[in-house]
């Protein structure tokens, strides 16, 4: 039997395999965390959207303070609303968490007077 | 074939490599586990936030506030109130004669009435030295 040590190439291949495997595992865990965080942000955006849609339906004025408190945990959040023929379209847009590129937005149509 | 025992230097090198590798693998596994667990906690928090919001909104809309008590309503002849117990479980409770309680969220570290709404704080203890907090404002005065 020929006895020799490992060559540099063999060592590099081993290190590369370990590195690639661990980066896949860490990346997958990070992706899972970001997906969960994105869901939480969606829920925050939904609170904001429901508040604005509720105000549009009942004709109550939107409170800047409440909006500010709802927006502060959503990065770059924007609320826009447009009314036409008694129907208000409220849209919330916000920046997704790090690692996710797709733009996030939610839209709801609120009919004036639909809430008691 | 030459057969020889390992030298003290070889043993020292092996032990050194092991001493470095074992904590590295352990720390790596811990980081992955924590990251994954945080993702699950965010999902759970989103779900709990929705439950709390829906229940509160229905109570605000249908119930009559009880004087002198925060977050308590009279609803269909029952008294409804929200309580956080010592384990951090937020529950919606019905007093006599309509007894009953429903757990809405776990890991609740704050649930308080503020102007125009309610503030809810959820906390996840990852390890004794690391905690994650999420604070939410739920508007209640909105229709």
**What is the C-alpha radius of gyration for chain B, rounded to an integer number of angstroms?**
26
- For residues A58 and B89, which has the higher predicted lDDT (pLDDT)? B89
Mind listing the pLDDT tens digit for each residue in B15-49? 999 999 999 999 999 999 999 999 999 999 999 99
What percent of chain B clears pLDDT 70, i.e. is strictly above it?
A: 97
Task: For tokens 């999902």, name the residue.
Answer: B43
Q: Do B137 and A55 touch (CB under 8 A)?
A: no
Task: Report whether the peptide linkage leading into residue B97 is cis, meaning its omega lies within 30 degrees of zero.
Answer: yes
Q: Which of A65-79, A97-111, B87-101, B124-138 has the lowest mean pLDDT?
A: A97-111
pLDDT at A71: 87
- State which residues form the domain around A96: 8-111
Comparing B133 with B70, which gets the higher pLDDT?
B133
**Structure token digits, residue B118:** 């309610």
Q: Chain B within 8 Å of A57 (Cβ-Cβ)?
A: yes
Contacts for B64 with CB less than 8 Å, ≥ 6 apart: B73, B74, B75
The continuous run of DSSP H or E covering A111 comes out as strand A104-111
Top residue of A19, A47, A50 to mutate, by most chain B CBs within 10 Å, is A47
Helix (H, G, I), strand (E, B), or coil: what is residue B121?
Answer: strand
pLDDT, tens only, A27-78: 899 888 888 999 999 999 999 998 988 888 888 888 889 988 888 888 888 8
Compare CB distances from B138 to A47, A55, A60 and report the shortest one's residue: A47
Give the total number of structural domains in chain A: 1
Q: Average pLDDT of chain B?
A: 89
Which bin fits A37, alpha (ψ -120 to 50), beta or left (φ > 0)?
Answer: alpha
The Cα–Cα gap between A36 and B60 comes to 29
pTM exceeds 0.80, yes or no: yes
Which helix (H) or strand (E) segment is A34 a member of? helix A8-58
The answer to the question of residue B2 being in a domain is no
- Integer Rg of chain A from CA: 25
In a domain, A41, yes or no: yes
Residue A64 has φ and ψ, to the nearest 5°, of -65, -35
Provide the b/e sequence for B10-30 (b: ≥16 CB within 10 Å). eeeeeeeeeeeeeeeeeeeee
Residue B121: its pLDDT value, please? 95
Segment A94-103 mean pLDDT: 75
Q: How many domains does chain B have?
A: 1
Provide DSSP, B18-79.
HHHHHHHHHHHHHHHHHHHHHHHHHHHHHHHHHHHHHHHHHHHHHSEEPTT-TTEEEETTEE
Task: Tell me the sheet residues that pair with A106.
Answer: A92
In a domain, A3, yes or no: no
What per-residue confidence (pLDDT) applies to A6?
81
Two tokens, residue B95:
């007093």
ipTM here? 0.79
Q: With respect to residue B1, please indicate whether it lies within any of the assigned structural domains.
A: no
Residues of chain B positioned with their CB less than 8 A from the CB of A34: 39
């Amino acid at each position: 039997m020929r006895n020799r040590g490992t060559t540099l190439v063999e060592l590099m291949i081993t290190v590369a395999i370990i590195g690639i495997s661990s980066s896949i595992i860490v990346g997958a865990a990070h992706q899972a965390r970001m997906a969960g965080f994105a869901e939480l942000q969606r829920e925050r955006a939904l609170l904001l959207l429901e508040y604005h849609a509720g105000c549009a339906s009942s004709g109550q004025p939107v409170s800047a303070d409440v909006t500010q408190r709802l927006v502060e945990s959503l990065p770059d959040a924007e609320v826009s609303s447009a009314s036409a023929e008694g129907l208000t379209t409220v849209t919330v847009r916000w920046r997704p968490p790090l690692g996710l590129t797709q733009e996030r937005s939610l839209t709801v149509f609120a009919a004036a007077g639909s809430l008691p | 074939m030459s057969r020889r025992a390992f030298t003290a230097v070889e043993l020292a090198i092996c032990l050194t490599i092991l001493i470095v590798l074992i904590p590295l693998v352990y720390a790596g596994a811990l980081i992955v586990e924590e990251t994954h667990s945080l993702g699950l906690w965010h999902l759970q928090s989103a779900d709990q936030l929705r439950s709390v919001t829906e229940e509160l909104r229905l109570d605000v809309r249908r119930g009559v506030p009880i004087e002198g008590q925060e977050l308590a309503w009279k609803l269909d002849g029952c008294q409804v109130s929200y309580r956080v117990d010592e384990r951090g479980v937020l529950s919606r409770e019905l007093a006599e004669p309509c007894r009953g309680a429903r757990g809405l969220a776990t890991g609740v570290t704050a649930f308080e009435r503020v102007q125009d709404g309610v503030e809810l704080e959820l906390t996840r203890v990852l390890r004794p030295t690391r905690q994650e907090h999420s604070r939410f404002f739920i508007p209640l005065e909105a229709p």
